[in-house]
Amino acid sequence: MSILELFCSVDDFWQHFAPSWQQDLLTSGQRQRVRPTQLHASEIMTIVILFHQSHYRTFKAYYTEYVQCHLHSEFPTLVSYQRFVELMPTVLVPLLAYLHTQLGSCTGISFIDSTSLAVCRNPRIHQHRVFDGRAARGKTSVGWFYGFKLHLVVNDQGEILAFCLTPGNVDDRHPVPKLATGLVGKLFGDKGYLSQPLAQQLLVTHGLQLITKLRKKMHNRLLEWSDKLLLRKRAIIETINDQLKNICQIEHSRHRSPINFLVNLIAGLIAYCHQPKKPSLGLQLPALSEG
């Protein structure tokens, strides 16, 4: 997606979102002071999303070496890097709302997984203060980390259907009922989601069938051949997690603000949603309806 296409998409969304958001602020019962800024909210959102489509590893280098040097004609009212960082928290809510407009639709085959978002290196855990009281220690198959977990649900076309952020010590099964809202058909997960009560709850509440691999020494169970094949294709969501971290760069240890951490994460998810080519199973499935 080009800069112009991205800006038009963001600005069209802003034109519909801003009036209702401002009305909610007025009726919230709290005094809200909204000052006009040199950069329009649509421009701030566009620049933040563009970073995750670039090949820069740090936002400072991207803004000072690319945006200020090469995009001044597209954004004639650019501000300094420090001022832009101060403006980023103002677009957190609009970015989150815009992300929800870019989510995919359920096809009847969904995959769920979580990935760690470390906020600092392990030797610096005791010195870390930015996320004190928010982040927590967790463990993955490759070891311990300090930070958060990003829980994702995707369809067979590689589109994000639902997402959730929790501290690193939260059980993967805890946010599943909320993430499963609106899903139909079958949900495939790894052994971390193995739970008979959870499977029963999803089946009764959402009519959703949870299919996972079995742990060692557990009795085998009968599965349809198609379900066994799809269970082997669960690596699609691991590929998506890898792209989010290494291409969209949703994880790094240089955060100085919890709000800007969320801005970085949401903008990275949006950048992935705009990718022209996503990991896909290439299945031709009939459309499913909730009825």
32 SS3 class: coil
The pLDDT assigned to 290 comes to: 47
Single-letter code of the amino acid located at 243: Q
Q: CA–CA separation, 150 vs 185, rounded Å?
A: 23
DSSP string, 128-168: --TTTTT-EEEEETTEEEEEEEEEEEEETTS-EEEEEEEET
Q: CA–CA separation, 271 vs 265, rounded Å?
A: 10
The pLDDT assigned to 291 comes to: 44
Rounded to two decimals, what is the model's pTM?
0.90
The pLDDT assigned to 284 comes to: 63
3-state percent breakdown (helix, strand, coil) of the chain, nearest 5: 45, 15, 40
The strand pairing partners of 211, in sequence order, are: 188
According to DSSP, residue 35 is labeled -
Q: CA–CA separation, 167 vs 108, rounded Å?
A: 29
**Strands 160-167 and 109-118, bridge-based pairing:** unpaired
Q: Which residues have CB under 8 Å from 49's CB, separation 6+?
A: 6, 10, 267, 270, 271, 274
**Phi, psi of 109, deg, nearest 5:** -125, 115
Q: Contact, 56 vs 252, CB < 8 A?
A: no
Q: Contact, 168 vs 115, CB < 8 A?
A: no
Q: CA–CA separation, 221 vs 21, rounded Å?
A: 51
248 SS3 class: coil
Q: CA–CA separation, 102 vs 248, rounded Å?
A: 16
First vs last C-alpha separation in the chain = 35
Q: Provide the residue-wise pLDDT of the chain in tens; the chain has 291 residues.
A: 789 999 999 999 999 999 988 887 777 666 566 666 789 999 999 999 999 999 888 999 999 999 999 999 999 999 999 999 999 999 999 999 999 999 999 999 999 999 999 999 889 899 889 999 899 999 988 889 999 999 999 999 999 999 999 999 999 999 999 999 999 999 999 988 989 999 999 999 999 999 998 765 555 565 778 888 888 888 999 999 999 999 999 998 888 899 999 999 999 999 999 999 999 988 765 555 444
Q: CA–CA separation, 247 vs 191, rounded Å?
A: 27
Q: Which residues have CB under 8 Å from 6's CB, separation 6+?
A: 46, 49, 50, 274
Angstrom CA distances, 234 to 16, 91, 115, 135, 229, stand at 37, 34, 14, 28, 9
